A and B are shown apart, each in its own frame.
With several copies, the nearest count.
Chain A
Amino acid sequence: MQILNYTSQHREFRHRMREFLEKEIVPYIGQFEEQHITPKWAWRALGKEGFLCTAVRPEYGGMGGDFLYSVIASEEMAKTNHTGLASSLHSDIVVPYIEAFGTEAQKKKYLPSCVSGDIITAIAMTEPDAGSDLAGMTGTAEEKNGEIVLNASKTFISNGINADLVIVAAKDAGVSDPYKAVSLFLVEDGAPGFKRGRKLEKMGFHSQDTAELFFTNCRIPAENRLGEKGAGFGMLMEKLQQERLMTAVGAQASAELMLDYTTDFCKQTKDHAGKPISKHQAASFALVEMSTEIKLGRTFLDKLIAEHAAGEHVVVETSMAKYWITDLAKRTSQRCTQLFGEYGFFEDCPVVRGFRDVRV
């Protein structure tokens, strides 16, 4: 029984994207990791081939693909074992805000370039002192003379350095109910008062440019508000289901990839008696146990993908999936490295990058 019904078009898309990545991206990943950023040409190449923002409707330059295309793109990207080309963040998390809540003018202005990769997007919610507590946000937005003036510090912003367009969440200082005070704003690269901080040094995600962003009396046109004034919280909530689901999709693909690498290693590596490590009983049980857990995660996830694609409200279940599957990926990374023995702490052990990256 297949929970997800991939059509031959889906499969062709997956195949084409995999081939593209293997040929055009994978050879450069080592460089991206060393440079701690993925260059813009890679984004554009991806966009040119139609692998960005597959869900955007044709009138804005996209292919109007169903949700399964997003899943495929995200999975194939995860299988390249790097995180710098955060195309799923761009395509499935940030850009959908513009398409869902943007004015016709905003959509016309931005979406085609988002699809082509000429605009790379980021979303700036988290603040240094508030963490995941959105109500505790302190960044402010004020309207003055037909402009909006932003004052906020944001941190842990993925694509922070590359981003050409940032969706910034900030509060109307005049509104006391924190749930009614937040609005979203579109801030372009070069807006006066918008500065990028340093690239953050991290445990992993080395090919990704995570950064702090500063908005100091940053002025943007009033029409750059995204959605209704004060509706930010609601918009964020509305998109939560897809965000969590995409996190789970990435983590699941990553766990599967690590297990594949480890299984291959155990089959290929022989002990001094010439016996493959995979025939050591403890290793073979470990592989079976991990693959059982991973299959459980996969089944749960596929069902949620189908439900989400069908427009069902499964926000509780996607939270569960995000919690359980990101933990699964972490456990898998910890256990897989063990099976490599001493080799498991060398960077060229194929699961080490995953070990670092899954902790984000």
Chain B
Amino acid sequence: MEFALTKPQKEIRKAVREFARSKFENETLLELVRTGQYPADTREEAAELGYCAIHFPEEFEGGGLGLMEYVLAAEEMCRTDSSMGLGLLLASFGSECLFRFGKNSTAPQYLPGVAAGKMRCGAAFFENRGDSDLSGVKTSAVQENGSLVINGAKTCIANGQTADFYVVLCKTGPEQEGPGKNLSLVAVDAHADGICLWPSGPTLGGSLIDFADAAFENVRVPEQNILGRPGKGLAHGLDFLDEARIQTAAMALGTAQGAFERAASYVRQRKQFGRKLFEFQVIRHKLADMYARIDSARWGVYSAAAAFDKGGCDRRTAAAAKLNAAASAMEVSDEAVQLLGGYGYMAEYEVEHFYRDAKTLELFTGPPQALKDAIAEGITGKPR
């Protein structure tokens, strides 16, 4: 077994790190985090270097690389700054659905725009804020003269108000069929008539991303906008979620690493009671715990990504990678806030937004309870 990155992987990681370090500037960045203004320029610069579509096929202007390379880039971005990382990475959230489930006519329409850092995607899956189970989707898409007519409401859509297109999980079969059956993923242009949007409200973290709720009222799209196989929307949605969980896990990993590095550097500089903080055994042990906690998450994320690229990442592996990485981000950023004392609470010292972003990542793409349900299903099958 080899535990070394390939040379191109190392190069990507290094290049992304350098990009992030040079472009994510503390003062501007804190201002963005505070105001939630989107760093459109930085995204375009990232896109020019190919960082907005590392894992898209080349035919859509992507890098043609794997999820592993995406993971390495995501980790570096979030390590440099979690909020900036989330801002750049989540802008394309959901666009994978346009190429993962087979050729689709909408892919050339949107993906190059995403790859260029100009377009954003809105994944419109959830309808119930408190329940992340997708099988309860009720938004309907009914065939009518070669079109699909969509009616329903979605909540908590990332890039909700700024997206150029949406990936909407719809019920394409009769309502009485029962939950989860006959769903389909449908690409919907943001300019289509009948979409009404309003902000889902400000968020705790991920503050560069706008979340919105949407109502679809007789929204018409061409039939061929169905992504993947009609009626297989739930399976596709869950498959996408596996990929999204590995992506989120990578962001969490970077968030943990970034918080750890800030804390380590703080305790090396800061004096108290006549000694540097890092000389106190209790502080040292906290650093060691943080280090070991990150170590315990990192390989799981990498191995899930590697398995995904080989086509073999099962649901529980992706879920476990995210569960561990998100928990590690929470614990490590929590400890970082603690280690910085009063400064940990201050925006200026950054770790406070790492902590808020960690919580956001923990709940996005599946809170712990949903991940545990998925893992348990992998172990014992579904319960009755």
Residues of A bordering B, CB below 8 Å: 126, 129-133, 135-136, 155-156, 200-205, 265, 269-273, 277, 280-283, 285, 330, 334, 337-348, 352, 355-356, 359-360
Contact = CB atoms under 8 A, between A and B. Distances in A.
Contacts of A133: 272-273
A346 B201 contact: yes
Contacts of B40: none
Contacts of A340: 129-130, 363
B228 to A, nearest CB: 22
A339 B364 CA distance: 13
18 contacts: A133-B273, A135-B273, A136-B273, A200-B347, A201-B30, A201-B348, A272-B133, A273-B179, A282-B282, A282-B369, A330-B334, A334-B334, A340-B129, A340-B130, A343-B156, A345-B364, A348-B201, A355-B204
Given A135-B273, A136-B273, A359-B355, A344 B363 contact: yes
B345 interface: yes
A26 to B, nearest CB: 19
Contacts of A282: 281-282, 285, 369, 372
B352 A334 contact: no
Interface in B181-212: 200-206, 211
Given A202-B346, A273-B136, A277-B130, A355 B202 contact: no
B359 interface: yes
A109 B272 CA distance: 38
Contacts of B200: 346
B317 interface: no
A132 B340 CA distance: 12
A209 B264 CA distance: 29
Given A265-B130, A345-B363, A132 B281 contact: no
Contact of A203 (B128, B131, B136, B345): B345
A322 to B, nearest CB: 14
A270 to B, nearest CB: 8
Given A136-B274, A203-B345, A272-B131, A346 B156 contact: yes
Given A132-B341, A338-B363, A346 B203 contact: yes
B66 interface: no
B289 to A, nearest CB: 11
Interface in B337-383: 337, 341-342, 344-348, 352-353, 355-356, 359-360, 362-364, 367-370, 372
Given A347-B201, A359-B344, 8 more contacts: A126-B342, A131-B341, A271-B131, A271-B133, A280-B369, A340-B363, A355-B359, A359-B352
A234 B344 CA distance: 29
A202 B281 CA distance: 29
Nearest to A335: B368
B342 A343 contact: no
3 nearest CB pairs, A to B: A272-B136, A201-B347, A203-B352
B257 interface: no
Contacts of A359: 337, 344-345, 352, 355
Contacts of B370: 341
B299 interface: no
Contacts of A155: 342
A337 B203 CA distance: 13
Contact of B369 (A270, A338, A348, A356): A338
Best-surrounded residue of A200, A341, A348 (most CB of chain B within 10 A): A341
Contacts of A131: 270, 272, 341-342
A156 B342 contact: yes
B343 to A, nearest CB: 9
Interface string B196-233: 00001111111000010000000000000000000000
A272 B271 CA distance: 28
A201 B343 CA distance: 11
B281 A341 contact: no
Given A136-B273, A155-B342, A202-B347, A338 B367 contact: yes
Interface in B54-109: none
Nearest to B135: A272
A231 to B, nearest CB: 22
B359 A341 contact: no
A280 B132 CA distance: 13
Contacts of B126: 342
A265 B129 CA distance: 11
A282 B135 CA distance: 19
Choose among A132, A272, A339, A340 the residue with the greatest number of B CB atoms under 10 Å from its CB.
A272
Contacts of B282: 281-282, 285
